[in-house]
Amino acid sequence: MTTETLVKVENLWRRYGDHVAVQGLEFELNRGDVLGFLGPNGAGKSSTMQMLAGCLAPTSGRITIQGVDLLEEPDRAKAALGYLPEQPPVYPEFSVREYLRFCARLNKVPRAEVEAAVDRAMQRCGLTHVADRLIGNLSKGYQQRAGIAQAIIHEPAVVILDEPTVGLDPIQIREIRDLIREVGRDHSVILSTHILPEVQTVCSRVLIINQGRKVYSDSIEALNSGLGADSLIVGGRALPSDETLAAIPGVRGVERLASERVRLRYGGEESFPTAIARLAVENDWELAELLPERKTLEQLFIEFTSGDAVVTEEAA
């Protein structure tokens, strides 16, 4: 089965005077991918999103959408894009149906197909029962749904969503995440977010940038595999000294948490906890606790964005 590349970013740079916001960014997005786009504040995320949406010209580099150069043929390339900025571009004085009709015409949906396109977008985004209500009278969650509906009204190949769950309550967040998964089945999605668990629950790929550069890019499966345990909490009434624990093969560090409790850092080997349990029994540590500690996505994110190392698919 061949893979269709819908977005290709090559050696993308953006400068603002002497400040370099994005430097040499490269990645690809295939049909069916949901890409989680992460980075700390000031990393160049907003500039990248604006360039991908065709709202900001790159200083140099190339962006192609379905093989069409975004700079050379912007009308053709943008026809394959749907975009939801952080602040949904909704008009509070319009009803949902009126607004989506307007968006369909803006996106050059043929007049004879507008009503079908509007009905389809409302059904997919769960807006049918509020079709004739004014957008200004809807909750923020439903306004976000209307924003996503306008982004997919013309059935684009690529949908760009910038912080789509900001300001929503937990129930609304879950509903929007379900909607993003549904959209990702028929479109490719670029999701910019600061909510790290959102990436794990929604995305199939992850891209992290820092100081304008790519520091991590891989599948969500590869990312999750990096969240394995790398430390072990050991509790016992007769634990040996820190020096003795540090001399155990595989131990990379010892942190004394209490007189009868320590944290052993190791390299993530699956056999390590079993080996420690066996050693504890053989040496009568009076073992009371043995708890592997898994890394969190937050810890990995901090590791990727606090140093200068670049981690790509080849190095991951």
Assign 268 a pLDDT band (cuts: 50, 70, 90). Answer: confident
Q: Which two tokens stand for residue 265?
A: 């850092």
The side-by-side arrangement of strands in the sheet containing 34-38 is 81-84, 158-162, 188-192, 34-38, 205-210, 213-219
Fold classification of 1-80+156-227+296-316 is: Rossmann fold (3.40.50)
**pTM, to two decimals:** 0.79
**Every domain range in the chain assigned CATH 3.30.70.100:** 229-294
State the pLDDT at residue 1: 47
In the predicted model, is pLDDT for residue 307 greater than 60?
no
Looking at residues 213-232, what average pLDDT do you find? 82
**How much of the chain exceeds pLDDT 90, in percent?**
65
Is the Cβ–Cβ distance between 235 and 257 less than 8 Å? no
Residue 96: both structure tokens together? 């949902």
Are the C-beta atoms of 267 and 231 separated by less than 8 Å? no
- Give strand ranges (E) for 144-248: 158-162, 188-192, 205-210, 213-219, 229-236
Q: Mean pLDDT, to the nearest integer, of 98-116?
A: 96
220 pLDDT above the threshold of 50: yes
Query: What's the rounded mean pLDDT across residues 165-179?
Result: 85
Mean pLDDT of all residues belonging to the chain: 89
Helix 140-152 vs helix 96-106: angle between axes, to the nearest 10 degrees?
Answer: 30
Q: How far apart are CA 316 and CA 293, in angstroms?
A: 21
- d(C-alpha 26, C-alpha 51), whole Å: 13
Region(s) of the chain under CATH 3.40.50.300: 1-80+156-227+296-316
Is the pLDDT reported for residue 97 higher than 90? yes
Residue 314 has pLDDT above 70, yes or no: no
Virtual CA dihedral for 189, 52, 39, 314, nearest 10 degrees?
A: 80
Whether pLDDT at 284 is above 50: yes
Q: What is the pLDDT of residue 127?
A: 94
- Answer whether 51's CB lies under 8 Å from 58's CB: yes
Residue 99 to residue 134: CA distance in whole angstroms: 9
Q: For domain 229-294, is the CATH number 3.30.70.100?
A: yes
Q: What CA–CA distance (Å, rounded) separates 86 from 160?
A: 10
pLDDT tens track for 12-34: 999 999 999 999 999 999 988 99
For residue 110, report the phi and psi dihedrals to the nearest 5 degrees. -50, 140
Which pLDDT value is given to residue 315? 39
Q: Are 43 and 33 in contact (CB under 8 A)?
A: no
